[in-house]
Amino acid sequence: MNLRLISLAIVLSLAAVAVRADAPPTLSLGDAEVAFDAKGALTYTSGGKEIRLGLSWYAPGWSPKSQKNTSDASLTSGENTWTWTNQYAQSGGAATLTQHVEQTDDGLVLTYTLVTKDGFGFEGGSKGPFLELNLSAEDAEGVELNLSGKTHSLPVNNKWSYGGRVLLDDLGFALKTKGSVSMSTWKSKSSGATEIRVQMGKPTTGDDGATTYELIATLPSN
């Protein structure tokens, strides 16, 4: 074979490997499947039912936003790790979301770090950014939710708890946070979907004026 063709084949092969390495992963978690998209939002599928999970917040004026509201997202990967970096602009301010995912023998560890600056703000009546678990009206119907020790049959609206666990045993789903946080569940008026919100931890402010929010959560493998 021509040497130039061999070199070209090697380059194309390496490029294909690089694309696969940085492509959003689809991972197994026990009997469930966890698929990430290009901006880090994930879909947990078990028994034909889905839970969509991603970071969300309310901009001033109760304008709903999510981690998908960006055109500037990048993904890098290592051995059993994936890191998304998303940029956001809002009301003249800026924010960076870094989402790190690590697959371990015990499950998936999700670390969300949101850094805001230059006046990037949230609706004053809200509790700041939160991790949202979303189930369609059909998938939520009759499912039992354990929200840090408080049990509800979905759908329910405006129920609150404080702790570190979200359990949906009917779907084989569990989420455990590092430390206790505020949690709530809501029923969408428009779609009937169930929204379970897990607030990020208390923010810290650096010398440069940037504000940092963090949440570490684990999806156990069993």
- Show the domain range for 59: 26-220
pLDDT for 163: 97
Residue 117 lies in a domain: yes
Q: CATH number of the domain that 211 lies in? A: 2.70.98.10
Residue 139 lies in a domain: yes
Residue 104 lies in a domain: yes
Residue 197 lies in a domain: yes
CA angle 12, 13, 19 (to 5 degrees): 85
Structure tokens at 8: 């070209």
* Counted domains in the chain: 1
Residue 210 lies in a domain: yes
Q: What is the pTM of this model?
A: 0.88
Segment 78-129, tens digit of pLDDT = 999 999 999 999 878 999 999 999 999 999 999 999 999 998 989 988 999 9
Say which residues have a Cβ less than 8 Å from residue 93's Cβ, sequence separation at least 6.
116, 117, 118, 119, 120, 121
Residue 33 lies in a domain: yes
